[in-house]
Chain A
């Protein structure tokens, strides 16, 4: 990568306030929103967890992975495989298994890819994710291109995940927990080392840091957290297919992280919600005369992405930060 980006790590009070309001809105939503929108917001929260896991790699450590969806998908498939046809599987066995499976895959693939740098890293992460995609796509035993249905959500014993609202709050709890964990990690010795690796890996090595094992640990942890998101996705939608580990899923995750603003995890949440909302908007565009605008959502999405990279490469939080800084400069 070229110049080190100035990251917003410490969130200004204004942003913190926005996040708190957002949390309040999310808590209140199930009591005011329809079932359709409940499911949509639930998915957005799951994608926010996915995006935060990528932000650990991309925003904090500076590792641009084009294959992060592999771990998202693997966890989903693990849940699908351990869920019997006739009854639910315990949450307390399936969740560790799924996250563990994703972490193991990330550890193995990470061991191979973390030794590469820059453009190589981007290409090999994409390649290995495609490999995982084809393993599932080509094998009928693993569900093939049709995917696998899950007949039950995991059994939590103490609460009922089949209940939409309960599942929603379970997801929200996971979202908050992951956010707090990652914010804590950002300021831990490990987090500071990762930031150092992002800014100047060469000097980190010269100072005695084992950068390979640091990057591998970040890669594995990010994979595990992506696995948590994948587990929740499979549990909510009741269906897994190879697209969950596909290139588009990985690329969308990158978009979300960039759209919101990298390196502080709040941006990832904002980006996930914004990106999904945008996608929803583009797909639902009304027909203009003969032209089915909504059908060509990829065009609008593509142009939006190109526009984003040209005009707002630091994402939404970057724009906000600039606006606030401008205001402060004017007030001074």
Chain B
């Protein structure tokens, strides 16, 4: 593989990895702090994509669609947390699996009723539709660089939030010791709501920015969810840093795998996961 091709695949790996990170970060935080497994996490990704598509159409601007879409998704997430998820933090994992599986069905149907079952394309916004020429024949789309950029920005924001702010400190304390944090007067309900909303927001933004590249179609959350789980398992539950490293690892293995070993590329990520399980069953960076 020559250098230019290598560079292209590397950029693709990073872009895919960062997108996975957006989903995995939310999942690992929600699980690490509230102890709830959410099979419907992929539905938020799908929600973001459909919102981007329908809002971009009605509002005419991609940027505006993302802003409004994020607000709507976060609002929906807060509502869901207050009405449903909050009551399941202390329940068995089995009950949570059941609940969130039922939600997958409900969300798929809601999507079907609101936006139909067709596959939709979304135009890359004009300003980002150029490509950077790498050689005479090969170029790299600016939009993909934009996607990576947004994810990096949000990753940085998440890092700053968690390690440098008081809210972040409270979040970390809540993950470490629930009862103590509550006893110290921290409004644990607020922390939970914030973390949940954060998870939903990140997942839906991921869906929004991915929409022009991946198209918008029914059950698009399903496949990305499983990759997300693999990332969380490899990275370690509760560890955002682990999620980032694992996501990039998965991105690299999957992208280069498809190019170098196409016959078994589908299995490579799982082989990676199996290897991690043999070495460290609780993930690389388990808290």
Residues of A within 8 A of B (CB): 1-3, 5, 58, 64, 66, 112-113, 115-116, 118-120, 122-124, 126-128, 130-131, 134-135, 138, 247, 251, 254-255, 258, 296, 298-299, 301-306, 308-310, 313
Contacts and interface: CB of A to CB of B under 8 A. Distances in A.
List the 9 shortest-distance A-B pairs measured between CB atoms, nearest first. A302-B105, A305-B102, A299-B109, A302-B106, A131-B270, A306-B102, A123-B229, A134-B266, A298-B105
Given A1-B93, A2-B91, A118-B93, 4 more contacts: A124-B233, A299-B105, A302-B107, A313-B95
Contacts of A254: 94, 97-98, 101
A138 B93 contact: no
Contacts of B277: 112-113, 115-116, 124
A304 B99 CA distance: 10
B278 A112 contact: yes
B26 to A, nearest CB: 15
Nearest to B226: A130
A301 B266 CA distance: 31
Nearest to B110: A299
Nearest to A141: B263
**Most chain B CB within a 10 A radius of its CB, from A5, A58, A118:** A118
A120 B97 contact: no
Contacts of A247: 222, 226
B281 A302 contact: no
Interface residue SS majority, chain A: helix
B267 A2 contact: no
A164 B127 CA distance: 65
Contacts, number: 119
Contacts of B108: 298, 302
Contacts of A127: 226, 229-230, 233, 270, 273
B229 A309 contact: no
Given A115-B281, A120-B233, A296-B113, A301 B37 contact: no
B92 interface: yes
B232 interface: yes
B52 interface: no
B97 A302 contact: no
B156 interface: no
B282 A302 contact: no
Contacts of A131: 266-267, 270
B104 interface: yes
B5 interface: no
B103 interface: yes
Contact of A1 (B92, B222, B266, B274): B92
Contacts of B98: 254-255, 258, 305, 308-309, 313
